[in-house]
Amino acid sequence: MATISKLSNPNPTASLPSSLKPKSSITHKCFLGFQAKPGFNSKLASCSCISFTSNHPSKGPSVVRCSVGDGNGTTVKRTTLHDLYEKEGQSPWYDNLCRRVTDLLPLIENGVSVTSSNPAIFEKAISSSNAYNDQFRTFKMPTNFLSQYGGDGYVSVEVSPRLAEDTEMTIEAAKLLHKAVDRPNVYIKIPATAPCIPSIKDVIAKGIRVNVTLIFSLARYEAVIDACLDGLEASGLSDLSRVTSVTFFFVSRAAVAQAALAYQLYQKKFSGPRWEALVKMGAKKQRLLWASTSVKNPAYPDTLYVDPLIGPDTVSTMPDQALQAFIDHGTVSRTVDAKVSEAEGIYSTLEKLGIDWAYVGSQLDEEGVESFKKSFDSLLDTLQEKANSLKLVSM
């Protein structure tokens, strides 16, 4: 049964940048649904993606419901994010989460459809505020979030990154988490390490939705797509419409040119006789998400990893800096496949200069897993410290 959670911050927009605040005095009401499942093991997973409603047409009910109005029928001002989704088919996700913006209403008004997070972001949110204490005492996990965006509205629960090199344990952990959470809109997040590629196939074959993260190279991305297709074919299901998956392709740690070629690979793999046969059984394309879109070098344009990668059936996850920049001066236009020849030229030139893309991807993969492990362990330590401070039982 869903419960109603009151927001602890009396002014949830106070901490937001001015560009993300509402344009008028608006009264907001947010109702967040939470569901506890007996036997859930917090050591195996972390909640990493929450979605909410927006102003786009809905095909079904939402458990997270937000009403916006000032009593005079004020219309929320459109931004480039609305155009990004409606005109170019790319979903804008906000790569951040903390209680002071839990209702996220200013972001919704600006066109954001989902918030994405990770153990590091969640650990910071828990450790830097007491706003979660009341809910933390109940040990309830947020689930059942349905969005008015057709392809969004999922919660991702992450298999422990310490299993990233163990194929069978990753499969077992994914099955356990899927059973423990037992909700229709949950992704099980699995890293795209070489040992986990067979895990991805097996988990999808069992009819479990999968979120694949830490993809840094074209070769690994192709392996992930093949695992998805193999899993769908091996499932034995007559209706594949509910077995969806997404992939996080990291951009700034690789190259925009490689990401553009990844989109070409995406179009190639999800077309043709093999794919059409799966479509007849209801299969849906594995969505391609651009991750790590913030610019680290101040000399670079602040929308460098957003503007060149706009295209249908994709997602751009943007932290504060990139989101504000795109709202302010981003260009809404299909760009991801506008300069394919140029991307191919850059890619091959770097190869001729001795850059081994597969090796670089492998190195980034190892570094990414290690980073995830540290963040995951830090999150669990923070949760234990919070439990101790609130005199709760051991996690």
Q: Would you say residue 259 has pLDDT above 80?
A: yes
Percentage of the chain lying above the pLDDT 90 cut? 43
pLDDT value at residue 138: 65
Give a yes or no: residue 12 inside a domain. no
Give a yes or no: residue 278 inside a domain. yes
Q: Give the whole-angstrom CA distance, residue 258 versus residue 216.
A: 9
pLDDT digits (tens, 9 = 90+) for 185-198: 788 999 999 999 99
Q: Give the whole-angstrom CA distance, residue 187 versus residue 168.
A: 18
DSSP annotation of 75 reads P
Confidence of residue 59 (pLDDT cuts 50, 70, 90): very low
Q: Which residue do the tokens 């190892």 mark?
A: 366
Q: Give the whole-angstrom CA distance, residue 62 versus residue 147.
A: 6
Please state the pTM of the whole predicted model. 0.74
Give a yes or no: residue 10 inside a domain. no
Domain enclosing residue 107, as ranges: 26-389
pLDDT value at residue 97: 67
∠ CA 164-117-333, rounded to 5°: 110
* CATH number, position 244: 3.20.20.70
Phi, psi of 114 (to 5 degrees): -150, 150
Catalytic positions, written as ranges: 189
pLDDT digits (tens, 9 = 90+) for 175-188: 999 998 888 778 89
Confidence of residue 388 (pLDDT cuts 50, 70, 90): confident
pLDDT value at residue 288: 94
- Are the C-beta atoms of residues 247 and 223 closer than 8 Å to each other? no
Q: How many structural domains does the chain have?
A: 1
Lowest-confidence range among 49-53, 119-123, 239-243? 49-53
pLDDT digits (tens, 9 = 90+) for 208-221: 999 999 999 999 99
Give a yes or no: residue 123 inside a domain. yes
Q: Would you say residue 91 has pLDDT above 70?
A: yes
Give a yes or no: residue 1 inside a domain. no
Q: Which of 285, 326, 286, 307 is nearest to 94 (CA)?
A: 326
pLDDT value at residue 75: 52
State in Å, rounded, how far the first CA of the chain is from the last one: 23
DSSP annotation of 154 reads -
Other CB atoms within 10 Å distance of the CB of residue 218: 20
Give a yes or no: residue 394 inside a domain. no
Mean pLDDT value across residues 113-137: 71
pLDDT digits (tens, 9 = 90+) for 282-318: 999 999 999 888 888 889 999 999 999 999 999 998 8
Give a yes or no: residue 6 inside a domain. no
Give a yes or no: residue 8 inside a domain. no
pLDDT value at residue 69: 41
